[in-house]
Amino acid sequence: MAVLVGKKAPHFIAKAVINGGEIVDGFSLDQFIGKKYVVLFFYPKDFTFVCPTELHAFQESLEEFKKRDVEVIACSTDTEQSHWGWLQMTAHQGGIKGVMYPIVADTNKTISAAYDVLAGEYFTDDEGTLHADGEMVAYRGLFLIDKKGIVQHQLVNNMPLGRNVQEALRVVDALQFNEENGEVCPANWVAGAEGMKATHEGIAGYLASQVAELN
């Protein structure tokens, strides 16, 4: 598993569905560099079970991400036509109608491979026949990318394990708190809590305050 934290987010250009049903060519993260943070999340398949719960959950919190200057972008190895069809189905039908953020079509699987969330591998046998070992779809990867295009956080879940959207928001808050205040965020930090200075004195003072609260 590649660790992309601290590195430039892999570049891609692909087709995507935006605004709940508009298919576009040439979608790229480059448009957000210097302007927006990005939460890019991968999911295994359209028309499945855990996936729509995640896509709806991100949509329900979309305004909270926008308040933080964050663009939410989804991606799977399905085609743009598959994404579009899924977007026409209501939640009662198992669909994702109402999801308005971009959904990228990683049809050739190169984006998932670049972010190292592609399950399975291709290989060629002794007779030159191409095979796939495992299902060639994306794990539930999530990447927080800053305005400079650098990955600041990544999380990868196996297929059955849905993600916590509130945790994604918390990590955005932590990153922005650090950028704005220069302080670091201790365990279980949430917006509004105290940070601490990255010094021995700062850590000692923070731990002392936590012990005092317990007493």
Give the residue numbers annotated as catalytic, written as ranges.
51
Dump the DSSP string for 31-76.
GGTTT-EEEEEE-S-SS-SHHHHHHHHHHHTHHHHHHTTEEEEEEE
For 15, the 3-state DSSP assignment is: strand
Question: Which of 165, 15, 21, 163 is closest to 98 using CA atoms?
Answer: 21
